Amino acid sequence: MKLYEYSAKNIFKHEGIPIPESDLAKSAEDVKDIVKKMDKPVAIKSQILVGGRGKAGGIKFADSPDEAIEVSDELLGSIIRGETVGSLLVEEKLEIEKEFYVSIAVDRSNKKPLIMASAEGGVDIEELAKIKPDKIIKSHINPLDEFLPFHAREIARKMGVDGVLIPGIGSIIWKLFNVFKRYDANLAEINPLVLTKDGLIAADAKLEIDDDSLFRHKNLMNFEEYEKEEFAYVKLEGNVAVIGNGAGLTLTGMDMIKLYGGEPATFLDIGGGASSKNIEKAINLVLKYQKVEVIFLNVLGGITRADDVASGVINALNNAPRKVPMVIRLTGTNEKEGQKLLSDAGISFETSMEAAAKKAVNLCNQT
């Protein structure tokens, strides 16, 4: 479960991590009222659940209420990196002297939390990791041991920051680890953590909660934007949406797309026994992702019935918000009934995964 920036920042604030003065807006008038109340230049930040919004134009600045309305009209309802902007975080524009990076993530290969920190934070942290990996300090934490403030200060010292900043940065690292542990997070990140004349402030916030722990955090599920995920769904950078029934089959479908020269846009596992309604929801979900140019539906029916899949496909295509070519591989339980439903509806299908994947890539190359 990914939290929006404003929700993550509220949690950070509760745990003692400084954040900018801010408020959430869902309309241009809300933005204008907030800017009037703050009476200072502001940053207006699109609330979406994918990274890279700054480079994609999702963060803008305004010096006056009228300018803020103009900016918010431009952002609200826009599509940034495949997501529609429905709300904006309006916060004071910070006078930044220095940027740092701090994150804590689950390192599954080592079965430990991994703290990563750098004295060079900001939007290009991924590039920094590639060209100057030595600039990022990495420290695994034994989950059976207590992580104490002096451990955090040692990480800050290794970052190479000025001595006067070590206690402050160490304190924030320690508090961020407390957030990570208390909320059963897969990721807790501040990028950038900025130094201003008023001290250190979390200028951005990311928090991803392990779905399997949500029964312990029912308050988080009350956020109005949160919808329980029905599928294992990951957005990628390609243009072919891959949907399958089972993680292994979906991954194999993705490999096939790569083999024939394409790039997957999604991993979406509908699981076993998916109903026609689930199929329809899955197709509608990937259609919302603007990078998707072709859908590759890869179904080998066991518990999942091919006729249910066909019904879901037909309903989805009849009511689709936008028209995108779909390539269907459909075999297994009730395959003759399912294939007949598709044929009667004028929808083509394949029984070979290889043929379907190749067809999907060819369709992308024609668009």
* Rounded Cα gap, residues 223 and 213, in angstroms: 16
Is the separation of the CB atoms in 48 and 81 below 8 Å?
yes
Query: Which residues on adjacent β-strands are paired with residue 234?
Result: 267
| Distance from C-alpha of 313 to C-alpha of 185, rounded to nearest angstrom | 36
Angle between helices 5-14 and 166-182 (to 10 degrees): 110
- Cis peptide, bond prior to residue 143, ω within 30 of zero: no
Helix (H/G/I), strand (E/B), else coil: 224: coil
| Phi, psi at 205, each rounded to 5° | -150, 135
Contact 207, 187 (CB under 8 A): yes
> At 289, is the secondary structure helix, strand, or coil?
coil
Q: Which helix (H) or strand (E) holds 235?
A: strand 232-235
DSSP state of 94: P
Measured in degrees and rounded to the nearest 5, phi and psi for residue 268 equal -135, 110
Please tell me what DSSP assigns to residue 93: P
State the pairing for strand pair 264-269/240-244: parallel
How far apart CA 179 and CA 207 sit, in angstroms, is 9
- Using an 8 Å Cβ cutoff, are 156 and 170 in contact? yes
Known catalytic residues are: 101, 189
Q: What is the dihedral of CA 357, 360, 364, 367, to 10 degrees?
A: 160
Residue 206 CA to residue 5 CA, distance in Å, equals 6
Q: Which residues have CB under 8 Å from 347's CB, separation 6+?
A: 313, 314, 317, 326, 328
The contacts of residue 64 (CB under 8 Å, 6+ apart) are 35
